[in-house]
A and B are shown apart, each in its own frame.
Chain A
Amino acid sequence: MHTSSTLKKEFLKKWIKGLQICCSSNKKMDLMERKKKIKLSADIAMASAKNPATSWSNALISEAKKNKQDTILVNSLLGTESDLKPQKNTDRIISVHKRVQYKKILKRSCNAGKRMNKKKNLVATILAKRLVKKRTKVLKRLVPGGESMNEFSLIKEAMDYMLSLKVQVDVMRSVVTAAEVLSEDKLMKLVE
């Protein structure tokens, strides 16, 4: 797809930039720290490459900003424009929660005296709905920023998130295999 290749390039550029930033700061890092930094820069690169459009990217970025250790990396990677967006997002989240609660109350009061439409297979439908509910809860936990979305937009966000995860995995895999091949050969050269 045309857009996925441009996305890949964007992601790669930003990721490499992030890696450079985090390496230039600290010389000694053990494995876990390095891995975290790599993953963080990858995630943020991904999110910023798609930043203006989707809410999960905003959620990722705002989460990363809360963690004080990483704010330097994040801010330098993103620049100053990102300051406004997380605030908007949290405001939106709060207002969505309130609206949701209000609607819940309203609906319950309306439906208090209603008859059940489906009388057949009551048990089956109840079971099926419970399963679906459980799974939507899990999905909400998986997709960043998914807690405060209704089902409809959750699915859209999940689709978007899946696509960008695929892109991320592809790019990272090729980078990693390249690095591994190169380092292997270097080691062999040293041994010889």
Chain B
Amino acid sequence: METDNSLETTSSILPNSSPNNFNLVKEEPIDSDSLHNSSPNLSDPIISKSTKRKEREKNVKSSAKKSKNVANETDGEELPYVHVRARRGQATDSHSLAERARREKINARMKLLQELVPGCNKISGTAMVLDEIINHVQSLQHQVEFLSMRLAAVHPNIDINLDNIFSAESGSLMECSFPAMVSPQPLSHQLWQPDGLTPQPLWGVEEMNPNFITPENSLLSYDSSGNSVSLYTNQLKMEL
């Protein structure tokens, strides 16, 4: 068989008595992941959708014609057993059924991936979609490289401007309306001890409450050129 199916650790197949009826395909329970989209619930709606579609399309009675169902025996785990049925005209081998189940799972996830990558929805075909995904990941990685290069080039010494960055950054983060900013108080204490650059206490870190709208006014006093910093952070506000 094709070797692309060989890297499979999840499915082991229990042959059943009657080959014409559905076979039980046992799958290891999928680890719960922390994916922020609803992928644990993903397979259920997609599989039920495909069930409805198949039932609508093919109403012809034949012994080999079946549709795919999600097992009702799940005990809170995702899909320990998947009842896979053969479609009309396809082989009812246990192996090929398992492969078909696996392929459908993979296709469902590929659709999710397609939604993530911009501009991928219109492309059909696994190879092209994978191409787009690879390009996107590569471009993101390159962007990280370039950005870190830019940051390194900005200042001869990362120390000095760190506080500037942080204050401006917190300003811009406010603009993006983050729900509740955790006050970075321990960070500020760490910062000031090794540097000893400006002995003044920091930018009103203690004042970083969820309610603040213009913290920049309090952030500014630490720098020697205090007025200029206020101008810049206001600029940032407008830019971002």
Contact = CB atoms under 8 A, between A and B. Distances in A.
B152 A34 contact: yes
A183 B140 contact: no
Contacts of A42: 144, 148
A26 to B, nearest CB: 10
B27 to A, nearest CB: 10
Contact of B149 (A9, A12, A22, A35): A35
A172 B149 CA distance: 11
Interface residues of B, number: 83
Contacts of B182: 9, 13
Given A174-B240, A178-B169, A117 B144 contact: no
A75 to B, nearest CB: 17
A176 B150 contact: yes
SS class, residues of chain B in contact with chain A: helix
Contact of B144 (A5, A155, A172): A172
Contacts of A181: 168, 232, 235-236, 239
B130 interface: yes
Give the residue among A19, A96, A152, A168 with the most B Cβ atoms within 10 A. A152
A94 to B, nearest CB: 13
Contacts of A161: 137
B147 to A, nearest CB: 4
B178 A5 contact: yes
Contacts of B187: 13, 16-17, 20
Interface stretch (B3-11, B18-26, B46-54, B66-74): B3-11
A36 B229 CA distance: 29
A156 B162 contact: no
A129 B182 CA distance: 49
Contact of A142 (B3, B134, B154, B225): B134
Given A103-B8, A155-B113, A132 B130 contact: yes
Contact of B109 (A152, A173, A175): A152
Given A132-B126, A139-B134, A162-B117, A114 B169 contact: no
B176 interface: yes
Contacts of B149: 31, 35
Interface stretch (B32-40, B56-64, B75-83): B32-40
Interface in A108-137: 110-111, 114, 117, 128-129, 131-133, 135-136
27 contacts: A9-B181, A9-B182, A16-B184, A22-B158, A24-B194, A35-B149, A35-B152, A36-B148, A53-B34, A54-B34, A104-B6, A110-B95, A132-B126, A132-B130, A133-B4, A136-B130, A138-B134, A142-B141, A150-B9, A152-B10, A155-B110, A158-B137, A173-B147, A174-B240, A179-B154, A182-B164, A185-B228
Interface of B: 1-10, 33-36, 39, 90-91, 95-96, 102, 105-106, 109-110, 112-113, 116-117, 125-127, 130-131, 133-134, 136-138, 140-141, 143-145, 147-155, 157-159, 161-162, 164-166, 168-169, 172-173, 176, 178-179, 181-182, 184, 187, 190-191, 194, 225, 228-229, 231-232, 235-236, 239-240
